[in-house]
Chains A and B, each alone.
Chain A
Amino acid sequence: MSTALSITLIVILLSILGGLIRILRGPSPAERMLAAQLFGTASVAMLLILSHLMAMPALLDVALVFALLAAVTLVCFVVLAEEERR
């Protein structure tokens, strides 16, 4: 069971590292920001798996803070991008 979870962890990490290409190549800020959001969501998933694997329930709090602040960063991006367009 724990081996399967570890492999899942590696697959998630590899899959989001693929998203780095989108961030480096862009070209528009929205694409880069969405790739960053993908990283945030995947990090939450990885934290949930790690909290089980490492037997650290405190990691659930870290995942909670991640999920919360990722949304705030996204709102910040959208609002500022909207202001810039006007």
Chain B
Amino acid sequence: MADPLLIFDALLGVALIALAIAVLVVRDRFAMIVLFIIFGLMTALAWVRLSAPDVALAEAAIGTGLAGALMLKTLHHIRAAPAAPVPVSVGVVFANMGFCAMVFVGLAIAFMATSLEAPGLAPQVAQNIDASGVAHPVTAVLLNFRAYDTLMEVVVLLAAIIAVWMIERGIEQAPARHLGEIYRGFARLALPAIVVIGTYLLWVGAYAPGGAFQGGAALAAVGLLLLLSGLYRPQPAHRPIARLGFVLGIAVFASVALLVASGGRLPFEYPPAHAKTLILLIEGVVTISIAVTLAALFHGREPEAIPVSETRA
């Protein structure tokens, strides 16, 4: 009899492909979002089966949880302000198809050209892990060996929130109504738990799967709950604090790189004696930035002064 886990893997693979097709062909926009959330769940399981719990954790936190909430909010926004669908010209459709085909061909070539027996970079990481300041290879790569890439990922988030605040500037929205005791009760129960788990994910990243992005996503869920339950209402006066939150991670990350570089080393070549401290410092502030930015992306617009008449509605 075949290994039952092999059957599970085959089922999971078929389900993933079927879900990917279903997300693209289904007509109902809400069903599309739900299917995409489930696609994320199944993808996380697939990463688990590929022995990549780090990717599974990131997929669970960002791909499934927060992306689902963001898409639900976007759908709500589209419905609240219905706009006439903009007709897409045939030229744009074909250009898009052309770009997709190029990406596909590029990936196919890269896949075919890579030798399956190649050892990859794992031995090099294992060799230098002692100098990195952390015990978990994924964190060592993300925050030390390839820290520049991680800095750019945080910059992408900053660019996203800048774009959202610019596009939605001036759109007014009456504050959310009082949602009743159930939500507040749930929020009171869940908020402390989420804060503990988010901080735990950040801390555990030094020697096990976890880290700034996963912890930040969990802490962003705190922001979502606060916004949804009406326990926190964004005020125009809070904009400077939010802006500080958005840039804090990048500012500290870049200053550490510059300070290290000014000491006659390469940027991100942390002195081994202080590597652990520096990595924890960077991860801590980046976590705060990620959490604030994701929560602000969920809120979706720069807090504006709202006329008094609307707040009484």
Contact = CB atoms under 8 A, between A and B. Distances in A.
Bound together: yes
Interface in B69-113: 69, 72-73, 76, 79-80
A23 B41 CA distance: 15
A12 B34 CA distance: 19
A6 B30 contact: no
A60 to B, nearest CB: 10
Contacts of B228: 75-76, 79
In terms of DSSP, what is the predominant structure of the interface of chain A? Answer: helix
Contacts of A61: 53, 57, 201, 204, 208-210
A82 B179 contact: yes
B131 interface: no
A47 B28 CA distance: 30
Contact of B72 (A3, A64, A66, A76): A76
Contacts of B278: none
B121 interface: no
A65 B73 contact: no
A52 to B, nearest CB: 12
B64 A66 contact: yes
A51 to B, nearest CB: 9
A70 B65 contact: yes
Minimum-distance CB pairs A-B, first 5: A69-B65, A6-B4, A58-B53, A80-B76, A76-B69
16 contacts: A6-B3, A9-B5, A10-B4, A26-B31, A39-B37, A40-B41, A50-B48, A56-B48, A56-B51, A61-B53, A69-B217, A72-B194, A73-B37, A76-B68, A82-B179, A83-B176
